[in-house]
Structure 1
Amino acid sequence: MSFLENPLYVLGILCLMVVLSMYAARTALGKKLGAALLVILFTAVIANIGIIPSASDSIPLYDAIFTYVAPISIFYLLLGVNLRSIRTAGAPMIVLFLIGSLATTLGFLISWVIVSPQDILGDDGRVLAGMLTGTYTGGSVNFNAVALEYDFQEKGILYAGTIAVDNVVTTIWIIISLAIPTVLRKFWTDKKIGAPRKSPVTDNNGAMNLQSLSWLIFLGIGAFVVTEWFTDLFPAIPSIITLSTLGILLAQTPFVSRLKGAHALGLYLVFLFLAVIGAYCELSSVFALKEIGITLIVFTSLGVLIHGILVITLGSLVYRDWEMIAIVSQANIGGGTTAIALAETFNRNELIVPAIMVGTLGNAVGTYLGFLVVYLL
């Protein structure tokens, strides 16, 4: 194992990127970008110049962060949520998410007509379009469900190239999503749907003491273990649903609501997850595919761009809440965890639970929409 693949070294660098993004977010320019975006950008830069491993030479640490850190971060964030304050946000989020899912499907159908990827990719283009529709509705589970049905994973270079393009476009869309409210408010004012006058997160952000830290670590690991056990018994129920339910139920108990620092700890783990997202933004893998890579990036980027235009246009006719629209779009394109990061950046904590909810809904419908696109093409 080379020094660059040493998990402690890489973890240290990821933690350093989180620290730097926090300080950079205090500057005049950094305040406009936000720490969530900065940690992605910082890590993407150092991964692309070879300071830490990128997607093509991924290490087990990255998989561990995706598998364990991301879901536990959601659990910690939910420990401070008061359910009574998010009732009015749930229905609008679901409506906007369904609009976003429709926008994704139409986006790739329109992109197919404009780009004609089948001229370069042949019949693989249909399957690829379905995979991208699935992943930009619900996530990588849907991406792989379509791929496995057509044995697409056996097309080594093309499959790897598609994943690389997916990582790059997802990262770019996170950046765009963060900018959507600021840009659109220059032209149209909006109204925050369901935003409470007081924070929907209970006051557990005081100085963390050793007792609170001990309980939080135990609760996070314990909830994850219980979730895995429950998923083994009932595999049809998504694990994130079980973990989220445990977090919400525990948040309503007086003992857990008095623990200090759950929100800060959860947000820190989200930033670690975003740092790995940045590391996976590997431009060299896209350029290495030459003409195929260019076709993939243009086809995918145009499909996501059309999604964005449609979800903003149609969403504004129903609920003109630019932050909610951006969060829902990110739930489509990047998944529930990145949507939560946006909610945190926008200080819309009442949207954390709805973001998880629509992310799970995307997992449920993404595969069907992916197969629909393959069928239509």
Structure 2
Amino acid sequence: MNNTLISPDNTWILWAILTGWAAISIWLEQKYKWASKVTGAIIALIGAMVLANLNVIPTSAPAYDQVWTYVVPLAIPLLLFKADVRKIWKESGRVLIIFLISAIGTMIGSFVGFILLKNAVPDLYRVGAMMTGSYIGGGVNFVAMAQSFEAPGELVSAAVVSDNLLMALYFFVLIAIPSMAFFRKAYKHPHVDEVEKHGINEKGKTLAASYWGRKEISLKDIAFAAGSAFAIVAVSGEIAKFFGAVIPTTNKLSEFFNILLGNKYLIMTTLTMLLATFIPQFFGNIRGAQEIGTFLIYIFFVVIGVPASIPLIIQKSPLLLVFCAIMVFFNMVVTLGFGKLFKFDLEEILLASNANIGGPTTAAAMAIAKGWTKLIIPILLVGTLGYVIGNYFGIFMGTLFQGMM
């Protein structure tokens, strides 16, 4: 750790690298199509891995701890300011149903994968929690679960690498399905038909650039976004401490509720959702919150790439890749099966699965790329709800798995 070009206590330089590489990753994702396909998150992680394994930056430092302690908690409420449950149901009720069915598929896959591999991977309950949260919500849930179950940095990095390798293949399959004759015969696809009839106009832009277009934002927006996020994180921490202190741990049931209600991430998620639902005129109108929250998550992706020992990842990732593959397989089978049973459109099914596995950003990007314009807002809203419920199900599955080890 002390033989690196940049020492662990050189906090300003390390922060410059963390934020600078996060910014470069976003720029590459929006500038070049190859980077858009790889995703900025992968670029952020791999860049940090290279710097750490070349001994340019240390594998542990106070600056990294600051990201886990302050940056990650602030990202969660910022990404949930538009999670008005009533609006989500009103505008996206149909898509919400297939999304929830898809989430059940994720949980079934997590359970099956855990049963098959629990004796091969010692900390699999931690991975189960992280991947359940992530494959119902997105990267922000992965972060919350990693923190909640105190996953070691090496395990987090190995899980992220496995997850992203699999997601690259998964997204390729999702994009290819609408053009396959079997699925065209088996499912309705009105949005595909409309695009093929009228065409789309998406020239010269990557998916990321299309989604993260320039928006009007004021100083007041930035002030309200930051002030509200800090307040929510502070209050949530105090509420979680209170419940953690007063709820006994004398039996398994009370211990479960102690873990559940004493978890600051769940309190944070719930509180933000309630505020977004009952004071939507304030939180829903804060511009730039999602952009700021997403940038903070990119900084996190840089940090989790840092402690990645390449030999350790080669050793652990294959089994973790199998675990992730089992989860994705069951998610897709359940989503496609029940989607067919309940006569959902193929586009709704694919976007619901995408919103589970990749989160609202990747689902919206797919809708944009495919020209399914009528589904962009519904899947974005439903995917945002995944941020909320992903933490609950991640905690539930992780606690269940921990008791089964």
Q: TM-score, normalised by structure 1?
A: 0.70
Aligned partner of 2:289 in structure 1 is 262
Match of 2:57, SS state, is coil
Aligned equivalents of 1:104 and 1:141: distance in 2?
A: 17
Aligned partner of 1:365 in structure 2 is 397
Q: CA deviation at 1:317?
A: 0.9
Match of 1:137, SS state, is helix
CA deviation profile, 1:29-59 (whole Å, cap 9, x unmatched)? 2333443443334333333333333xxx322
CA contact (8 A) 2:77 2:272 kept: yes
Q: CA deviation at 1:131?
A: 5.2
Match of 1:232 among 202, 220, 241: 241
Distance 1:370 1:327, change over 3 A: farther
Q: CA deviation at 1:361?
A: 1.4
Structure 2 counterparts to residues 182-201 of structure 1, below 5 A? 182-187=175-180, 188=183
- Paired positions, count: 322
Aligned partner of 1:40 in structure 2 is 45
Segment of structure 1 superposing worse, 251-260 or 135-144: 135-144
- 1:326 partnered with 2:346: no
Aligned equivalents of 1:349 and 1:274: distance in 2?
A: 22
Aligned equivalents of 1:24 and 1:101: distance in 2?
A: 34
Aligned partner of 1:62 in structure 2 is 64
- Tell me the C-alpha RMSD between the 2 structures: 3.6
Match of 1:234, SS state, is helix
CA deviation profile, 1:305-362 (whole Å, cap 9, x unmatched)? 23322322232112352233234245xxxxxxxx466456556421112233133212
Q: Which amino acid aligns with 1:248?
A: M
Q: CA deviation at 1:240?
A: 2.5
Aligned partner of 2:85 in structure 1 is 83
Aligned equivalents of 1:90 and 1:71: distance in 2?
A: 26
CA contact (8 A) 1:94 1:358 kept: no
CA contact (8 A) 2:221 2:286 kept: yes
Distance 1:73 1:302, change over 3 A: same
Q: Which amino acid aligns with 1:35?
A: G
CA contact (8 A) 2:144 2:265 kept: no
Aligned partner of 2:325 in structure 1 is 305
Aligned partner of 2:310 in structure 1 is 283
CA contact (8 A) 1:79 1:248 kept: yes
Match of 2:336 among 296, 316, 328: 316
Aligned equivalents of 2:153 and 2:85: distance in 1?
A: 41
Aligned partner of 1:196 in structure 2 is none
Distance 1:352 1:19, change over 3 A: same
Q: Which amino acid aligns with 1:353?
A: L
Q: CA deviation at 1:239?
A: 2.2
Match of 2:132, SS state, is coil
CA contact (8 A) 1:168 1:283 kept: no
Q: CA deviation at 1:132?
A: 4.4
Structure 1 segments unaligned to the other structure (5+ residues) = 113-117, 119-124, 148-152, 154-158, 193-204, 288-292, 331-338
Q: Which amino acid aligns with 1:58?
A: S
Aligned partner of 2:228 in structure 1 is 219
CA contact (8 A) 2:156 2:304 kept: no
Segment of structure 1 superposing worse, 10-19 or 74-83: 74-83
Aligned partner of 2:14 in structure 1 is 10
Segment of structure 1 superposing worse, 351-360 or 26-35: 26-35
Identical counterparts, % of pairs: 16
Match of 1:19 among 3, 20, 23: 23
Distance 1:368 1:76, change over 3 A: same
Aligned partner of 1:137 in structure 2 is 132
Distance 1:263 1:162, change over 3 A: closer
Q: Which amino acid aligns with 1:307?
A: M
Q: CA deviation at 1:220?
A: 1.3
Segment of structure 1 superposing worse, 102-111 or 225-234: 102-111
CA contact (8 A) 2:146 2:156 kept: no
- 1:349 partnered with 2:380: yes
Match of 2:175, SS state, is helix
Match of 1:318, SS state, is helix
Aligned partner of 2:99 in structure 1 is 93
Aligned equivalents of 1:266 and 1:161: distance in 2?
A: 24
Q: TM-score, normalised by structure 2?
A: 0.66
CA deviation profile, 1:63-114 (whole Å, cap 9, x unmatched)? 33233322321211222344334222544333322221221232344457xx
